[in-house]
Chains A and B, each alone.
Chain A
Amino acid sequence: MIISVASGKGGTGKTLVATSLALSLKDTESVQLLDCDVEEPNDHVFVKPVITGSEPVHMLVPTVAEDKCTYCGKCAQVCAYKAIAVIADHVLIFPELCHSCGACSYLCPEKAITEEGREMGILELGQSDGLSFVHGILNVGEAMAPPVIRKVKEHASNDGTVIIDVPPGTSCPVVEAIKGSDFCLLVTEPTPFGLNDLVLAVETVRELDIPCGVVLNRVGVGDFKTEEYCAKENIPILLTIPLDTEIARLYSRGVPLVKGLPQWKESFLGLFDRVKELTNGRNRNTER
């Protein structure tokens, strides 16, 4: 089963939930934690994995063999991203604009274009006391997170439980990370910002036809509108975590909640059971 942990708004507790859920399950289940927040990956700060391998993430970008090129302009004409320009007898390539669709090299009438890998990030694989761990790290200055996220997900295990930590927001990196999940946990807080972004996140998971439930974090300050919204939309609130300086301090030191306050393990196991009930009978999506 693949469970993704998303939120819309940043800083609501995705990492806290993803790491504590993974650590709670690891003694009884085969579990893998994939950190797909490749712009700002943080799970490693908490689970402190022993990194056993790494691999660069490449994106294919075109290079032109000028001796074959006739400057016909076909490549520039088919590139939807303006990543190639042909000016008189010069071909200019802008690798950071390239989406690696492959149209230019395939359609070049002279077969003058080949593709070469451009490194845009790395993947690290590791273990943390029985927990299998993978994260992707986008290079600083790179714009496109989805190719790195796709690479992380290629390492998703075919059996056991896979937990995906999703980046904040609702756009392409989020879709790339949660696509193919059996269930999506939406972590939010009971504030107007939390609710506004929860609504957007719910619309996103519904667009992808993935069932979801809410984890409500920092309960105690804020309002009750999030609970009202969840009731109205028939979205189950599967776990509530109070606003508590002890929890915040553990987080600040990089201590997972279930390590610092082991009594929380039961709650996370309960959360997992609820998710299992809610996905009962639903097969893993074939599309990853």
Chain B
Amino acid sequence: MEEIVILSGKGGTGKTSIVGSLAALAKNKVLADCDVDAADLHLLLSPSIKQQTEFWSGQVARIDEEICTKCFLCQDLCRFDAIKDFRVDPVSCEGCGFCSHICPVEAITMEENMSGHWFISDTRYGPLVHARLGIAQENSGKLVAQVRQQAKKIAEEQGLDYIISDGPPGIGCPVISSLSGASLALLVTEPTLSGIHDLERVLGVCRHFGILAAVCINKHDLNEENTRKIEDYCRSQDIEVASRIPFDNAVTEALVRGVPVVEYGDGRVSHEIEKLWQNISRMLEDARKK
């Protein structure tokens, strides 16, 4: 079983649209939406939810006003400025529990925190594991780990060949959590200076964790000079450019209709994404042989 995670560094380069299309092209796979704080893949795959599970993670401090003697110790020691006027701001509280250990009158208890939900759904392309982090919650990395674990379980139980994950933007905690141990990271970039800057950083993360990477240049015709820069850069880093997708309003039109772009017309975009999937499959096969 191979796990492919789609990342980009910069947001909005087309990760989810490409994952939606790979969902339609790849056989025998489970899909995972690892962008748990702004999950969008379900909008393309119209899932029917089969199982919904609460995600309990971390704790939040609570001060019992009746017991509190207003000694200020917790307020003084909290490094997250989460206690003001002897009340805990749950958004700022990181759940470390320091206050509960040092309160001289034991007025502070730690309460379990429900920080979101995860779902197992059926789609016309196969099973999908997705999640929704609660508003302003922490622990997105742990929820990502949960989504991946469930996807892996499904893949093993059903003997599936691929896990295809839609990753979050950035390079921090949820990205690291999406990436570790994956077979291949597909990095979707665009020929903008921001896109190039962010690609270099997310490629650094792949290298840091020893993950095989390939690049897809989306909207390559927006700036051919920058596209060449990306190609030169990838060559210098020994990274394969697996696809160059042209700019086409068909991508947004398909999105508005809630279908993957490869199922919307047979244009140049669809053709390039088909080629992308062939290239990824070949790279994974080569990696297996090694």
Contact = CB atoms under 8 A, between A and B. Distances in A.
B136 A208 contact: yes
A200 B136 CA distance: 9
Contacts of A196: 38, 40, 43
Nearest to B133: A171
A171 B140 contact: yes
A151 B92 CA distance: 16
A284 B223 CA distance: 42
Interface string B176-196: 110000000000001111110
Contacts of B81: 287
A49 interface: no
A243 B286 CA distance: 41
Contacts of A213: none
Interface stretch (B145-153, B201-209, B232-240): B201-209
Nearest to B252: A221
Interface stretch (B9-17, B23-31, B47-55, B157-165): B9-17
B91 interface: yes
Contact of A144 (B173, B202, B252): B173
A262 interface: no
Contact of B79 (A11, A101, A171): A101
Contacts of B37: 169-171, 174, 200
A142 B193 contact: no
A192 B258 contact: yes
Contact of A9 (B12, B94, B95, B256): B12
B243 to A, nearest CB: 18
Contact of B96 (A15, A99, A208, A248): A99
Contacts of A81: 96
B10 A42 contact: yes
B104 interface: no
Nearest to A254: B193
23 contacts: A39-B9, A39-B175, A40-B11, A40-B194, A42-B10, A78-B97, A80-B95, A81-B96, A140-B205, A141-B204, A141-B205, A168-B170, A170-B136, A171-B174, A192-B40, A192-B43, A200-B37, A200-B38, A204-B136, A208-B136, A251-B194, A253-B192, A287-B84
